[in-house]
Amino acid sequence: MKRTNTFAVRARSEQDEQLLRELLDASASLWNELTYERRQQYFDGESVWDTEDYRKKYVGVLGSATAQQVIRKNRSAWKSFFAATENGEGARTPGYWGNEDDGRELRTYIRNDQYTLKMGDRSRLEIPVGQDLKEKYGLGYYERLRLEVAGNPKWDGKQGRLELYYDKRSDQFRAFQPVTVDDSRLDSPLAEESAALDIGANNIVACTTTTGEQYLYEGRDLFERFRETTQRISEFQSRLDDQHRTSKRISRLHRQRTRRRDHAQEALARDLIERLYAEGVSTVYVGDLTDILETHWSVQTNEKLHNFWAFRKFIDRLACTAKEYGITVEVRSEAWTSQMCPNCGSIEDTTRHQDTLTCPCGFEGHADLVASETFLRRHQNSESSDWRTRHFVSRQWHETVARPMARPVCLKWDDHSWSETSHSHRPNEEHTNRSIHA
Shared domain check, 190 and 178: no
The amino acid sitting at 228 is: E
Contact 218, 411 (CB under 8 A): yes
User: Parallel, antiparallel, or unpaired for β 281-288 and 328-333?
Assistant: parallel
Domain of 262? 185-437
| Domain boundary pick from 131, 156, 182 | 182
Signed CA dihedral, 43, 45, 49, 55: sign only: negative
Distance, CA of 204 to CA of 221 (rounded, Å): 11
For position 426, what pLDDT does the model report? 44
For position 18, what pLDDT does the model report? 96
| Domain boundary pick from 162, 182, 202 | 182
Q: What is the mean pLDDT of each run of 10 residues along the chain (438 residues)?
A: 83 95 95 95 93 93 95 94 82 84 85 91 91 94 93 81 87 89 60 85 86 89 84 85 76 83 87 90 82 46 58 83 86 74 77 80 84 84 45 39 63 85 49 34
Distance, CA of 96 to CA of 103 (rounded, Å): 11
Contact 421, 412 (CB under 8 A): yes
Shared domain check, 336 and 202: yes
| Domain boundary pick from 121, 152, 182 | 182
Domains: count for the chain: 2
Shared domain check, 336 and 243: yes
Shared domain check, 294 and 261: yes
Shared domain check, 189 and 141: no
Shared domain check, 142 and 28: yes
Contact 371, 334 (CB under 8 A): yes
Shared domain check, 225 and 144: no
The DSSP result for 197-225, as a single string, is EEE-SSEEEEEEETTS-EEEEE-HHHHHH
For position 360, what pLDDT does the model report? 83
User: Parallel, antiparallel, or unpaired for β 116-118 and 2-11?
Assistant: unpaired
Shared domain check, 220 and 153: no
Q: Which residues pair with 419 in a beta bridge?
A: 412
Contact 199, 375 (CB under 8 A): no
For position 429, what pLDDT does the model report? 39
For position 211, what pLDDT does the model report? 87
- Cα→Cα distances 120→148, 164, 351, Å: 11, 20, 54
For position 219, what pLDDT does the model report? 84
- Cα→Cα distances 334→266, 282, 330, 331, Å: 23, 19, 12, 9
pTM > 0.85: no
For position 402, what pLDDT does the model report? 39
Shared domain check, 202 and 123: no
For position 221, what pLDDT does the model report? 85
Let me know the angle formed at the C-alpha of 212 by 371 and 384, rounded to the nearest 5 degrees. Answer: 60
Shared domain check, 193 and 44: no
Shared domain check, 193 and 109: no
Name the 3-class secondary structure at 357: strand
Shared domain check, 296 and 343: yes
Q: Which residues pair with 418 in a beta bridge?
A: 413
